Structures are given as structure tokens and as C-alpha cells.
């Protein structure tokens, strides 16, 4: 009797027949998922598969980010701060994964990318509806972005909905108001279809929370979670910019933008400006 020394024996209880059972592949719809990578270069370029998978996996993670942000906003509306912070914590881990993922695409050299870039036409990450949705959910709203999705009614409807819904920051400020904090009416009654702008009247509120953290621990923790969220988003934006610069230099983007200089301007955008401004005031 031969003994296979480097083979793990299958246990008797392991299910082998999936003719009438749901399998791993069928549950995850793997035939659909793994057939969605369709390179367009002719002849097919070796590195195009990397380019496609990089962006497809990003879209999958963005789908989960949106799921968690929508849930966090709903929990804030119902005054369940703990559940909202749990969802935000998960988003932070996803953000870390998304940022680290740029290092894989950065292995694509300028020469390699140039050999199939022309086949992309005008397709560009600028046209990612889910990325815009995340920005809207966090408060960076811009109605001028919506017509980009006129040919995609489902995406346009999603963005229209988020444009008119309070951002997660709006929901947090409304939550603080219901908890008895002195949130200015000018902030509570603002037009939520507009991007949140720095409101100096909010800074004293956050100064009070930070300087009395032991008495306001939930609010204090939430402030720091939101700061983490913005920091992570800015790191993602910066890593994106550097990867693009590394790959195409200062050339224009496939979608018609100026490329790196356009991405640079995004680093000036902020979600929760008062949570950063208050740091200058603490201890004065």
C-alpha cells in the first residue's frame, strides 16, 4: 500500500456532489464574475487584464463602501451611533485596501500602458458613478457631474437621490442636535444639494466636544472616526494621482481631463473642514 506523504486526505464528511446543491461558485456567481474581463486590445495585450481587474475590484469595493455609508446614515437618523461607527470602521478598512491596491497598478510601466491605452477610447475613471456617489454621500456634491451619466439612467438616478439626501456629515450634525448639542440653525437648515462649505460657527461646538471628551465620549469618538475617513480618502486621492503620474506623466486623461493637474485639484476638496479647523483652536 503506497503512502502519499505530501497529500492531504479528504475527510469523509466533505461534500463532493453539487448536482443538486449550491456550490461556492454558484453562490458567488463566479462564471459571470470571471467572464467579465474582456480585453479590447488587438492583439490582446498581456497587461490589459491587470488594468481591467484593478478597476473592477475597485468598483466592487466602492459598492460595499456605499452600502456601509448608506447604512451609517440610516443608523445616525435613528440615533444608533454605535452601529453607525461600526459601519464607518469597516469603510476605513476598505479604504486601506483600495489605497494599497494602487501599488499593483503601479507595476504597469509607461511603455506597457501605451501599447493598449488607445483602445480605451474615452473611457475613464472620471466616469465612475460609484466613486461620485461616495463623494456625494460624504458631502462633496456637484450637480454638474450628473449629466456625465445621462446615458446611464440607473447611475444618474442614484446620484440624483444622493444629491438630494443629507450627507453623512449632515446626519451626524443632526444627531448632535438631537442629543442636545448647540448646532447652529444655519447648518441644520442648509441646502443639502450643495457641497458642504466651511462653517466657522461650528468650530466652537467641536472645541467643546474635544475639550470635554470624557463627558461627550460618543460624539468625540465619532469626530475622530470622520477625520480618519477623510484622511484615508485623501491618501487614496494622492496615491491615485501618483500612480497616474508614474504611468502617463503629464498627458491628458482618456476622458478629456487634464490628467494629473485635474487630480491635483481634488486634493483641495474637503468633507469635514471644521473637524480639522478645530485643531488650531484646541488649547488656546
Q: Is 54 annotated as a binding residue?
A: yes
Contacts of 26 (CB under 8 A, 6+ apart): 18
Q: Is 146 annotated as a binding residue?
A: no
CA atoms within 13 A on the CB side of 47: 16
Count of CB atoms situated within 10 Å of the CB of 210: 19
Q: 95 near 233, Cβ under 8 Å?
A: yes
Q: Is 51 annotated as a binding residue?
A: yes
Q: Is 127 annotated as a binding residue?
A: no
Q: Is 46 annotated as a binding residue?
A: no
- Across 220-233, b (16+ Cβ under 10 Å) vs e yields bebbebbbebbebb
Q: 254 near 124, Cβ under 8 Å?
A: yes
Instruction: Compute the CA torsion angle 26, 30, 35, 39 (nearest 10 deg).
Output: 170
Q: Is 282 annotated as a binding residue?
A: no
If residue 4 lies in a helix (H) or strand (E), which one and from where to where?
A: none
CA 74 to chain centre: 18
Among residues 86, 64, 65, which one has the least CA distance to residue 76? 86
Q: Is 254 annotated as a binding residue?
A: yes
∠ CA 150-155-156, rounded to 5°: 45
3-state SS class at 69: helix
Count of CB atoms situated within 10 Å of the CB of 129: 19
Q: Is 14 annotated as a binding residue?
A: no
Q: Is 113 annotated as a binding residue?
A: yes
DSSP track, 181-197:
----HHHHTS-TTSPP-
∠ CA 62-77-169, rounded to 5°: 55
Sequence ranges of the binding site for substrate: 51-55, 113, 117, 254
Sequence ranges of the binding site for heme: 240
Sequence ranges of the binding site: 51-55, 113, 117, 240, 254
Amino acid at each position: 500500500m503506497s503512502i502519499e506523504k505530501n497529500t492531504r486526505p479528504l475527510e469523509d464528511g466533505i461534500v463532493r456532489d453539487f448536482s443538486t446543491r449550491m456550490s461556492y461558485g454558484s453562490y458567488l456567481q463566479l462564471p459571470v464574475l470571471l467572464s467579465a474581463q474582456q480585453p479590447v486590445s488587438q492583439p490582446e495585450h498581456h497587461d490589459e487584464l491587470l488594468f481591467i481587474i484593478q478597476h473592477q475590484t475597485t468598483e466592487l469595493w466602492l459598492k460595499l463602501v456605499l452600502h456601509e455609508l448608506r447604512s451609517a446614515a440610516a443608523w445616525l437618523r435613528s440615533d444608533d451611533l454605535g452601529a453607525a461607527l461600526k459601519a464607518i470602521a469597516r469603510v476605513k478598512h476598505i479604504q486601506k485596501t483600495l489605497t494599497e491596491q494602487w501599488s499593483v497598478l503601479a507595476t504597469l510601466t509607461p511603455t506597457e500602458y501605451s501599447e493598449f491605452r488607445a483602445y480605451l477610447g474615452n473611457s475613464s475613471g472620471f466616469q465612475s458613478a460609484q466613486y461620485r456617489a461616495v463623494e456625494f454621500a460624504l458631502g462633496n456634491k456637484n450637480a454638474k457631474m450628473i449629466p456625465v451619466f445621462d446615458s446611464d439612467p440607473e447611475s444618474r438616478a442614484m446620484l440624483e437621490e444622493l444629491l438630494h439626501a443629507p450627507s453623512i456629515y449632515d446626519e451626524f450634525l443632526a444627531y448632535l442636535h438631537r442629543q442636545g448639542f448647540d448646532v447652529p440653525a444655519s447648518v441644520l437648515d442648509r441646502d443639502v444639494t450643495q457641497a458642504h462649505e466651511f462653517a466657522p460657527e461650528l468650530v466652537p461646538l467641536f472645541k467643546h466636544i474635544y475639550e470635554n471628551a470624557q463627558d461627550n465620549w460618543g460624539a468625540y469618538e465619532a469626530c475622530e472616526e470622520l477625520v480618519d475617513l477623510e484622511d484615508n480618502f485623501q491618501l487614496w486621492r494622492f496615491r491615485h494621482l501618483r500612480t497616474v503620474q508614474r504611468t502617463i506623466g503629464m498627458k491628458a486623461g482618456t476622458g478629456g481631463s487634464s490628467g494629473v493637474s485635474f487630480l491635483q485639484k481634488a486634493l483641495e476638496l474637503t468633507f469635514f473642514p471644521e473637524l480639522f479647523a478645530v485643531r488650531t483652536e484646541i488649547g488656546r
